[in-house]
């Protein structure tokens, strides 16, 4: 899954970059490091990367600025943000701007590898089998998911979502009408049990609801069931 995946590392800490490049190379990732936001955007425009590791604190453009510009340019590369330890605001802002996950600094390289593999698992589209077209599509009301391409369509129009948002929606639609616990969703989507005070899922769901609402669906149809989890109700547009 992660073997030979192309990783763009965006951090101005040269020593940390050298350390992570060595570690990730041993784990069979292909890593390119850049140290400024404009370099990062140029790389992402010129070459395909499977995932980007983006530090919040960059000289000139911040990591937030880079992420915002990526999404503005519809660069859909999954992003794992590196944030200062304890800075919950940074984590929430990053997720709201479209990051797929975050990791506080200083980070354990082993945990970074685990997070990267989790992101890659939910961003890798399945090979298309043209004999199984119907099985690759999930349709609920006017909402359709194409599992082969990890695409979302609402009222026939494509909705741009992150890989994490897609995975959340896929799980909820496959369990339509049934509650999915927060812990189960966290394990399936983020690859880890839910942690106390971790608002990652809440932010991803908020972003997803806004996008579906803008596309013509009511965000109340993905319901938070207090004390239990989340449920996707039947959608009739």
Q: At what angle do helices 63-72 and 88-96 cross, to 10 degrees?
A: 10
Instruction: List every span in the chain annotated with CATH 1.10.10.10.
Output: 137-232
Residues of the chain with CATH 3.40.50.2300: 6-124
**From CA 229, how far away is CA 159, in angstroms rounded?**
24
- The model's pLDDT over 87-134, given as tens digits with 9 standing for 90+, comes to 778 888 888 999 999 998 888 999 999 999 989 987 764 444 445 455
- To which CATH superfamily is domain 6-124 assigned? Response regulator (3.40.50.2300)
Model pTM score: 0.76
Residue 40 has pLDDT above 80, yes or no: yes
More confident residue, 22 or 143: 22
Average pLDDT value over all residues in the chain: 87
CA distances 73 to 2, 36, 54, 138, 166, Å, are 26, 18, 17, 28, 19
Architecture of domain 137-232: Orthogonal Bundle (1.10)
Can you give the chain as a three-state secondary structure string? CCCCCEEEEECCCHHHHHHHHHHHHHCCCEEEEECCHHHHHHHHHHCCCCEEEEECCCCCCCHHHHHHHHHHCCCCCCEEEEEECCCHHHHHHHHHCCCCEEEEECCCHHHHHHHHHHHHHHHCCCCCCHHHCHHHEEEECCEEEECCCCEEEECCEEECCCHHHHHHHHHHHHCCCCEEEHHHHHHHHCCCCCCCCCCHHHHHHHHHHHHHHHCCCCHHHEEEECCCEEEECCCCC
pLDDT at 220 over 60: no
């Amino acid at each position: 899954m992660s073997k030979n995946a192309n990783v763009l590392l965006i951090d101005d800490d040269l020593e940390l970059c050298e350390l992570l490049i060595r570690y990730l190379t041993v784990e069979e990732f292909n890593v390119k490091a850049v140290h400024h936001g404009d370099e990062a955007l140029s790389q992402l425009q010129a070459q395909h990367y499977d995932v980007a590791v983006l530090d919040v604190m960059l000289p000139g453009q911040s990591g937030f600025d880079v992420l915002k510009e990526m999404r503005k340019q519809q660069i859909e590369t999954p992003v794992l943000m590196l944030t200062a330890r304890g800075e919950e605001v940074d984590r929430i802002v990053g997720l709201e701007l479209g990051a797929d996950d975050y990791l506080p600094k200083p980070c354990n390289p082993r945990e970074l590898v685990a997070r990267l593999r989790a992101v890659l698992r939910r961003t890798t589209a399945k090979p298309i089998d043209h004999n199984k077209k119907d099985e690759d599509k999930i349709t609920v009301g006017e909402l359709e998911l194409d599992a082969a391409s990890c695409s979302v369509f609402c009222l026939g129009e494509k909705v741009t979502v992150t890989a994490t948002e897609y995975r959340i929606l896929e799980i909820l639609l496959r369990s339509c009408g049934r509650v999915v616990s927060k812990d189960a969703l966290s394990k399936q989507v983020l690859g880890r049990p839910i942690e106390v005070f971790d608002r990652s899922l809440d932010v991803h769901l908020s972003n997803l609801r806004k996008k579906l609402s803008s596309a013509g669906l009511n965000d109340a149809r993905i319901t938070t069931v207090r004390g239990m989890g989340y449920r996707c109700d039947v959608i009739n547009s």
